Structure 1
Amino acid sequence: MNDIQFAFIDESGDYSFDFENNDVSTHFILVAVLAKESNKEWLEQEVEKVRQKFFHTEEMQSDKMNNPHLRIQLLNDLKDLPFNIYAYVVDKRKIREDSGITFEKTFIKFMNRLVYDDLNRTFDQLDLVLKELGTKEFMTEFKTYISERSVPDLFNYSTFGFNQSKSEILLQLANFIAGTIAKGYDQTQYSEYYPLFNKIIKKKIIAINLWPQNYKNYLDDYISRNQDSPFDEVIFKQSVNLTLQYLEKNKKSEDADERIRVDLLKFLLFNLRENPNEYVFTQEILDNLNAIRVNKINHHYFRSNIVSKLRDSGLLIASSNKGYKLPVCLSDLYDFVHLSSLTIHPMIQRISKCRNQILLATNNEIDILEHNEYEYLKRIIEMEKITVHD
């Protein structure tokens, strides 16, 4: 059996839609702290040290830490430990009243299905761990929902389900991370320090899945900060809509490469929400994608089989010497064109020089671009000659 991956799950927020009550959360947040079995014991020891340092005899609970500077110190103590974060952030305010899920019971059932389907597609194997005592209603329903669908093997082990694994301290870690993410989304918990929190734990985050999936969920925050070009909103909308359509179309794909592409787009969407104007270095993306994979992806495979195929499908992915991002403005597209031209133009010139040498050596009898499939290259080269002469 491979190194088992655990998911320690906790939540932030409530299930109510009575927003006239100031105590009702605007968002429901679910966090899975991912850890490998080979790291679990050491991780527990290190997180316990952090708990004792900041909470002494109390549990490490997010709502027990109101000092943002202490939270920053704590996150810095956690940032190099071997765990990752996979999360869901639901903006309850943007769920239509006519959708039928703006009632607590139906909302919980809907979220059970949404989270189960996504986790089951994303992870080949996952050993889920929830808090046993004092569990909230969502967690109780979620455990029942998954238990009914998990299939144990001959050794009574479910590759995706609950296997009686426990770790109170890592569940506390999940609670603290959920509460930290809430400070960037939930209006009842919002903190101006969230960008600093996010900067510390960003490399630990595999994905923050925003729901409902609508480009406006990403656009509103961006437009409030950027008013550069009248075309930027059009580019932003097209970029995000194409990405969301691709995710919806391919979310159930069993193809290994397609699943990598889906995970990449989720990560780029997360980066767009948090840092819409920043590129992500290729190595950071690979670290993110490889965190949940046994077979690791290298740079060449990433470029040729993942990014290139997405672009072949019509998706907009900008790139520069600083990495990749979803384009949100005209300058992002110019970055992509510029970087591509640095490769395309020299290659065309080399083909042209090679062609000229063979034409010269054979007295124009052999043209290496004479086949129909190279007609477009011949036209480009001939047009370039005309431009140079003009």
Structure 2
Amino acid sequence: MNHHTAFLSEWGNNALDFSKKAPTGILPTTHFIVTALIMDKADLATVLAIHEAVSKRHFDGGLIDSERISNDHVKRKEVLEDLEELPFQVFSIIVDKRQVIGEGLRYKGSFFKFLHGLADRELFRIFPDLEIVTGQVGDDTFMNGFITYVQQNHIANLFNESSFGFVASQDSPVVQTANFVAGTLARCYDETVITDQRGEFIEILKRKVLTIRFWPDALAHNLISQPQPGPSFDPLLSQLSVNLANDFLHRKSADKAPQAIDQVSSLSYLLFHFRHINPTRYITSFELMEHIRARRGKNVSLHYFQTKVIAPLRDAGVLIASSSRGYKLPASQQDLYDFVGHSNTIIEPMLPRVKRFRDQIHMATDGKIDVLAADEYKVIRKVID
């Protein structure tokens, strides 16, 4: 049974020759964006009701159309703020077409096939039971080939619960909303429509972001301007944090184990905030756990989050700083000291307690029982001794 539905839309054109205009006279877009709004099927009625209210408020009951408001950035912010009430998460793939180097990708057919595999792998890794809905497609679009790709790789399997449908965009209000979000992301990244208000748009969308994948993935995609080097920002340490995080994401992106998916999802969230919101901000445990809950459809405990998500990430070599304010990728020496200091407030008081416990048992049993005698406790034993 499908528990989640993804409403897909695309933005941009497939022109890969930036030296001339397309036959229509329209400049080639620098980026191609695929965006999905993912929600629990049980929430669809609520989504449609809120969508209708937003449509009446801003579009006279018509399509929620990104191009209609174009560069009216005040109106765009108002629409985004109203759409924030909707219980959806944003999945997006943003491809910088200027970085398509291989000759095999310089043809629109090969380019779209590459995108089909990328979108399919990311979507179905996170939601293996996904139902996908997209707008009515033409012959020369990303969605046209994506339908075939998904059907061949998923729906042909009788035991796979994935399904695919497409509708005319005017018949699917949520596809309209996906198109509006895609158009908004374009104004954050595409050089033909980019705006200085992009940071404000992302600030509104940030709690809705499940995954945004950039191809190729480079620090040049940072939405924010890097802070000046100083006590709160060390460029070399920040680069190391991002590189180690990306290395883990690349290695684990295909792992379908629930805990691995939660680790990838949480790390992606931390990385997105580091690069596009604020590299100095800590993210609370609650916010990260809520991010997992929204994807899973059920709550996770703090113990699970700490032991099955954060701890394995650190064990794998990912740098994650923590303090009483939450978690983040370290951007400065102070972030490192925050982690060590926070750990020390937990470890140091425990050692005297363990020693006292050990001594009491040792004395009461005339030395017959040493609770730290086992090999797995040799580090604690060495510290206490």
Query: Scaled by the length of structure 1, what TM-score is found?
Result: 0.86
CA distance, structure 2, for counterparts of residue 28 and residue 63 of structure 1: 16
Residues 112-191 of structure 1 correspond to what in structure 2 (within 5 A)?
A: 112-134=116-138, 137-151=141-155, 159-163=161-165, 167-191=171-195
Shift of 1:28: 1.6
Distance 1:342 1:222, change over 3 A: farther
Amino acid at match of 1:259: I
Which of 324, 327, 343 is matched with 2:327 structurally? 324
Residues 1-390 of structure 1 correspond to what in structure 2 (within 5 A)?
A: 1=1, 4-20=3-19, 23-56=27-60, 58-65=62-69, 66-95=71-100, 97-98=101-102, 100-134=104-138, 137-151=141-155, 159-163=161-165, 167-214=171-218, 216-217=219-220, 224-228=226-230, 232-275=234-277, 276-357=279-360, 368-382=371-385
CA distance, structure 2, for counterparts of residue 303 and residue 187 of structure 1: 40
Amino acid at match of 1:380: V
Distance 1:37 1:254, change over 3 A: closer
Amino acid at match of 1:115: A
Amino acid at match of 1:59: L
Shift of 1:134: 4.8
Residues 331-378 of structure 1: CA deviation (Å, up to 9, x unaligned): 221211111111011111222333455566678786554554434324
Amino acid at match of 2:332: C
Does the 8 A contact of 2:232 with 2:334 survive in 1? no
Shift of 1:247: 1.9
Shift of 1:131: 1.0
CA distance, structure 1, for counterparts of residue 368 and residue 138 of structure 2: 84
> Which residue of the partner structure matches residue 24 of structure 2?
none
What SS class does the counterpart of residue 316 from structure 1 fall into? coil
Residues 35-69 of structure 1: CA deviation (Å, up to 9, x unaligned): 22222133123212212221226422112112111
Instruction: Please identify, of 368-377 and 278-287, the stretch whose mean Cα deviation from structure 2 is larger.
Output: 368-377
Distance 1:221 1:44, change over 3 A: closer
Residues 67-119 of structure 1: CA deviation (Å, up to 9, x unaligned): 11111111121111222211112223334x24632433221111111111111
Gaps of 5+ in 2: 22-26
Does the 8 A contact of 1:209 with 1:266 survive in 2? no
RMSD: 2.8
Residues 303-325 of structure 1: CA deviation (Å, up to 9, x unaligned): 01111111112211111222112
Query: Scaled by the length of structure 2, what TM-score is found?
Result: 0.87
Number of residue-to-residue matches in the alignment: 376
Amino acid at match of 1:238: L
CA distance, structure 1, for counterparts of residue 298 and residue 49 of structure 2: 29
CA distance, structure 1, for counterparts of residue 139 and residue 302 of structure 2: 43
Distance 1:75 1:367, change over 3 A: same
Amino acid at match of 1:236: S
Does the 8 A contact of 2:93 with 2:212 survive in 1? yes
Amino acid at match of 2:357: C
Shift of 1:14: 2.3
Distance 1:256 1:193, change over 3 A: same
Amino acid at match of 2:109: K
Gaps of 5+ in 1: 383-390
Residues 157-197 of structure 1: CA deviation (Å, up to 9, x unaligned): 96223145775211110011111122222222222222222
What SS class does the counterpart of residue 34 from structure 1 fall into? strand
CA distance, structure 2, for counterparts of residue 35 and residue 239 of structure 1: 31
> Which residue of the partner structure matches residue 386 of structure 1?
none
Distance 1:350 1:137, change over 3 A: same
CA distance, structure 2, for counterparts of residue 53 and residue 41 of structure 1: 19
What SS class does the counterpart of residue 35 from structure 2 fall into? strand
Distance 1:153 1:26, change over 3 A: closer
What SS class does the counterpart of residue 225 from structure 1 fall into? coil
Residues 112-166 of structure 1: CA deviation (Å, up to 9, x unaligned): 1111111121112111111115575111111121122233577xx9622314577
CA distance, structure 1, for counterparts of residue 152 and residue 366 of structure 2: 77
